[in-house]
Amino acid sequence: MKTIVNLFLLSLLVNPIIGYAQNPVLQNASVPKDAQVDVVMTDFNNNVLPHEIMILRSKANGREYQGLTDDNGKFSVRLPAGDEYEISILGFKDSTSLDVLKIPALQGNAYYKNPFVLNFQFLPSKNWVLDNCNFDFGKATLQESAYTVLDELVAYLKRKEDDRIEIGGHTDNVGNAASNQKLSLDRANAVKEYLIGKGIDPARLTTKGYGMTQPIADNKTEAGRAENRRTEVTIL
C-alpha cells in the first residue's frame, strides 16, 4: 500500500544577488564557486515550521544536500553554482519533489556576495498509512515485518518532538462489528506500546479503534479487504 503523502507547494521566492570582487587581493585569490542559500520555511498561515528536513538534489550529479529547520523554521546551506536543485521535503518516510532552485554559473572571479533567500511555504501531511504494519491473523500481535515501519515512525517522532499523534486501527468487514472494533483498538494499542518501548512519551500517543466503519477500498475483493486492514497515523 502506498504511503499517503500530501505536500502542497504554496509559494517559492528566490532572490539571487551577484557581487564581483574588486579588491586586487580577491582578484588573484581563489574565490568560492558556490552560493549560500538561506531558507525560511512556513505554512500557509506564515507559522514557522521547525524540525523539517529539506532535500536539495543536484540535477547535474544527483548529489543531495539537506537542511534541518531550527525552532524559527530556518537553516542555511552552501550549494555549488552552475546547477539546478530539485527541492523536496522529507515527510514521514518519503519525499516528494516540489520545485527547482537554479543557481547560475559564475564566470571568472565573480562570486555571490549575498545569499539566495528562499522563502518556502508548504502544507505537511497530517495523515498516512503505516505500510506493512502487519499482525497475526485475527490477533493484535505485531509481526516482525512491522518493525521496520514502526522504527521509522519512532525516528520521525523523535525528530518532531512536539507532535502528538493518533494511532487508528481499521479492519475489513469480515466478522461482526463489535469484534472488529475491539480488534482494531487492540492493534492500535499494540503499536502504541511498541512506540513507548522505544522511548516515545505516552502522553504524545492516543489510540482509537474504527473497526470496519471507514473502508478505503471495496470489501468485496481480497485486495480491497487487505487495503482496509490498516493502521493509520494522524498528527493532532
3, pLDDT greater than 70: no
Average pLDDT score, the chain: 84
pLDDT tens digits, 13-60: 444 333 333 232 333 345 557 899 999 999 888 999 999 999 999 999
Question: What pLDDT band is residue 161 in, cutting at 50, 70 and 90?
Answer: confident
113, pLDDT greater than 90: no
Q: In angstroms, rounded to a whole number, what is the distance separating the alpha carbons of residues 179 and 176? A: 6
Give the pLDDT of residue 45: 87
Cβ atoms of residues 77 and 56 within 8 Å: yes
Whether the model clears a pTM of 0.75, i.e. scores above it, the answer is no
Angle formed at CA 231 by CA 181 and CA 236, multiple of 5 degrees: 95
Which is it for the CA torsion 127, 132, 138, 141, positive or negative?
negative
Ordered structural domains, the chain, with CATH: 8-123 (2.60.40.10), 127-235 (3.30.1330.60)
Cβ atoms of residues 126 and 6 within 8 Å: yes
Q: In angstroms, rounded to a whole number, what is the distance separating the alpha carbons of residues 168 and 230? A: 8
The average pLDDT across 97-111 equals: 86
